[in-house]
Amino acid sequence: MPTIQIKGMSCEHCVASVRKRLLLIDGISDVQVDLQKNEATYTEAKPVQLDTIKEAIREIGYEVTD
């Protein structure tokens, strides 16, 4: 499962927002967000460009860190 680091999450609302947004991306499922680790893991049914994921996270006010 791919993992991305997300900067800016501080509460369960943030977790829910990130999870909901990632699930809207075609090809992504089974999203798990860990607030303490500031990361999200997900399953790809088909390849998804990292830039697509980064942009989706930016759109809701967070940042994917490298």
Q: What is the pLDDT of residues 28-59, one digit of tens each?
A: 999 999 999 999 999 999 999 999 999 999 99
CA angle 58, 59, 64 (to 5 degrees): 20
Residue 61 is part of a domain; what is its CATH number? 3.30.70.100
Indicate the average pLDDT of the chain: 97
Query: How many whole angstroms separate alpha carbon 35 and alpha carbon 32?
Result: 10
CB 31 within 8 A of CB 23: yes
Give CA–CA dist 31/33, Å, rounded: 7
Percent of the chain with pLDDT over 90: 98
- Please check whether residue 6 is in contact with residue 38, taking contact to mean a CB–CB distance below 8 angstroms: yes
Contact 40, 31 (CB under 8 A): yes
- Domains contained in the chain, number: 1
pLDDT score at 20: 98
The confidence score (pLDDT) of residue 66 equals 75
pTM reported for the whole predicted model: 0.94
pLDDT, average across residues 16-23: 98
* Domain range for 14: 3-65
